[in-house]
Amino acid sequence: MTSLFALVDCNNFYASCERLFRPELEGKPVVVLSNNDGCAIARSNEAKALGVKMGDPLFQIQDIVKQHNIHVFSSNYELYGDMSFRVAETLRSFTPNVEVYSVDESFLDLGEFKFLNLPEYALNIKNRVKQNTGIPVSIGVAPTKTLAKVANRIAKKSPKANGCLVLTDSYHIDEALKRTEIGDVWGVGRQYAKFLINYGIATAYKLKHTNDSWIKKHLSVVMLRTVKELRGEPCADLELEPGKKKEICTSRSFGKPVKEFDELLEAASTHAGKCAFKLRKQKCCAKELTVFVHTNRFADTPQYFNSKKIQLPTASSSDLELIKHTKKALERIYKPGYLYKKAGVIVSDIIPGSNVQLNLLDKTDHGKEFTLMQFLDRITNKFGRDSVKVACQGIDPKKNWNLKREFISPCRTTRLNEILTIRI
């Protein structure tokens, strides 16, 4: 069966999500900021046209924001995650084989639909996603995932494509590759791009026609797969089930510096609970836990960094167990008198939950904790995050270690108290 992939990419996804419940912002510049309202990580086309670049710190673009009345938002990951799920569910109505590649990109297997009018089918997908979710998307269709990326990039930038481009004809594929700079090829990083340009390989078309032995000698087998994909040979299948992580890290920079141990413990315990939830989600347990803390290296204050790794007596995915050992680790590395900027928890040596070997010296009733965590997850799914939590995670919503989010929008789709009210 001939392979055929479609890449569906949400346009300026975070900015589009913010516009979704603010229709008056359509056609106006919108910028979404990173954690702690640091720098621009998403920009509407209007903001890009005004010169706002990806990664620009907010304090450096304040004049542009005020001059052009740019609408600024803090990152609302809860909203973005839910809208991403809704987009993916709409895509599954067209084919069951969907790989959610990232929060704003999905690959579809269209191999069984190659006899359809593909441009019309792609346009139908685009219109249905917009109708169901309100999120605008661009779609690229091609025989390989790498070529689908190329098609999607052109579809997004070309007014003639109208957001959809199908590349199945060899002539059109070559023309598209000639228009694609080497640094814009999926899988070609910045250093590889510099290296290839030095050898006169400045476009995807030239990379496609580069000798295999030269690629293997000077680059890598992974890059050779990219070259073969540019030639129309599929080397990457859809990953329908997300791979289980071998290591999970949860950390956040604090909105304000944290000095006291109890506040630091609240933050670290919260991160440990999130790690535990992620472990249970992939039906795994961790045998090692690492806690780290550090001060702000950019501030003119005394600097300190430290971490502590603990081997768990028995591999676990329990909030109670991970938080207990997080506290032990934090007690060993905490030093009073410092202004801490960040804390984090890493769980590693992850194994399937069915392969956990019990420890004769461990007095914890893991069966009871497992049942308790099941009930905790049910409550969380029904009533939302932080409905029930461990006491040391804190109960005061106004915490110094919380992210700075001065421009946060409501979670219109996931919280009943923030749902949009329509007056008729």
Q: Mind listing the pLDDT tens digit for each residue in 95-105?
A: 999 999 999 99
pLDDT at residue 155 greater than cutoff 80: yes
Q: Write out the two tokens for 185.
A: 């090829």
- Say how many domains are in the chain: 3
- Residue 401 falls inside a structural domain: no
- Residue 422 falls inside a structural domain: no
- Residue 236 falls inside a structural domain: no
pLDDT tens column, 320-367 = 999 999 999 999 999 999 999 999 999 999 999 988 888 777 778 888
CATH of the domain at 84: 3.30.70.270
Average pLDDT of the chain is 92
Q: Are residues 287 and 385 in the same domain?
A: yes
For residues 274 and 345, what is the distance between their CA atoms, to the nearest angstrom?
9
Q: Are residues 374 and 256 in the same domain?
A: yes
- Residue 405 falls inside a structural domain: no
Q: Are residues 123 and 150 in the same domain?
A: yes
Q: Are residues 178 and 112 in the same domain?
A: yes
Q: Are residues 129 and 45 in the same domain?
A: no
Residue for token digits 């199945």? 168
Range of the domain at 342: 248-393
pLDDT band at residue 397 under the 50/70/90 scheme: low
Q: Are residues 288 and 347 in the same domain?
A: yes
Residue for token digits 């769980």? 347
Residue with more model confidence, 176 or 424: 176
Q: Are residues 265 and 301 in the same domain?
A: yes
Residue for token digits 């070997």? 357
Q: Are residues 182 and 87 in the same domain?
A: yes
| Distances 251 to 74, 190, 275, 343, 382 between C-alpha atoms, Å | 18, 27, 10, 6, 25
For residues 110 and 186, what is the distance between their CA atoms, to the nearest angstrom?
20
Contacts 24+ apart (CB under 8 A), 191-199: 192/219, 192/223, 195/219
CATH of the domain at 369: 3.30.1490.100
Q: Write out the two tokens for 159.
A: 């007014």
Q: Which residues, other chains included, contact 141 with Cβ-Cβ below 8 Å and sequence gap of 6+?
A: 4, 5, 6, 7, 110, 118, 122, 148, 151, 164, 165, 166, 167, 168
Nearest one of 11, 20, 294 to 162, comparing CA atoms: 11
Q: Are residues 326 and 219 in the same domain?
A: no
Q: Are residues 62 and 83 in the same domain?
A: no
Domain edge (last residue) among 78, 109, 129: 78
For residues 68 and 60, what is the distance between their CA atoms, to the nearest angstrom?
14
